[in-house]
Amino acid sequence: MDIVIRLATNADLGPIRDIYNYYVHRSTCTFQLEPDTEDARIIWFRDRSPAHPVIVAESGGDVIGWAALSAWNRREAYAHSVEASVYLRHDVQRRGIGRSLLCDLIERARQAGHHTIIGGACTEQAASLALQESLGFERVACFKEVGQKFGRWLDVVYMQLFLDHQTSSNVVRALP
Ligand SMILES: CC(C)(COP(=O)(O)OP(=O)(O)OC[C@H]1O[C@@H](n2cnc3c(N)ncnc32)[C@H](O)[C@@H]1OP(=O)(O)O)[C@@H](O)C(=O)NCCC(=O)NCCS
């Protein structure tokens, strides 16, 4: 499968939304309960900036996956912390495309001058957690029963990757 990873454009919003909405009623990989509307995706994309890009994986002219960096928190002091999202079309999973998208996103985060990437996933999302772990994300928190979907309470793990390893927090961690 020949894959091209590139920045998303307005023309990609339909497939981005379709890929995401597939999971809304079927999976705890998103805590959204109702499918995205066309307007919601347009606003989501309009609010992007170079520091918070959206990328897509394209194959044979079709968008088959997407990924994005979003603000972790809108308060100014959090400006260099971003949250990563990756969504693959359900029929092309486990072919390395998710890893390629996340690798590309990590490099873009580094180039944008971000300090750390945070990934959140429901504890039952083994693929998402394993993908992040395979790229060096570490588990830093687990919040119990913070979401409710499909009639059950859900726990959320937060994963973190530091982009600059000469940071004060890493130095602190390295101390005996
Ligand atoms: C999670 C997701 C992005 C992974 O993408 P993918 O292309 O299927 O995964 P890859 O083929 O790149 O796999 C990379 C690594 O992730 C892990 N992984 C992927 N799928 C897995 C699965 N079903 N079970 C366990 N580990 C899995 C493995 O560590 C794998 O490495 P390996 O193949 O060398 O063992 C994709 O499954 C997806 O879109 N899922 C639904 C949406 C979602 O959960 N998004 C994450 C929330 S932001």
- The full set of domains in the chain, from first to last, is 4-174 (3.40.630.30)
For ligand 1, mutation pick of 19, 24, 100, 131 (most atoms within 8 Å of CB): 131
In degrees rounded to 5, what are phi and psi of residue 42? -65, -45
Burial grade of 137 (CB within 10 A; 0-12, 13-18, 19 or more): buried
Helix (H), strand (E) at residue 125: none
> How far, in Å, from the CA of 94 to the mean position of ligand 1?
6
Rounded distance between C-alpha atoms, residue 120 and residue 35, angstroms: 20
pLDDT of residue 1: 82
Query: pLDDT tens track of the chain, all 176 residues?
Result: 899 999 999 999 999 999 999 999 999 999 999 999 999 999 999 999 999 999 999 999 999 999 999 999 999 999 999 999 999 999 999 999 999 999 999 999 999 999 999 999 999 999 999 999 999 999 999 999 999 999 999 999 999 999 985 444 443 343 33
Query: What separation in angstroms does the CA of 100 have from each of 89, 108, 147?
Result: 14, 12, 29
Q: Please say whether the beta carbons of 123 and 157 come within 8 A.
A: yes
Which residue matches tokens 């693929």?
A: 127
Residue nearest to atom 26 of ligand 1 (CA): 127
Point out the ligand 1 atom lying closest to the alpha carbon of residue 125.
Answer: 44
**Bridge partners, residue 122, by sequence:** 156
Ligand 1 centre to CA of 26 (Å) is 16
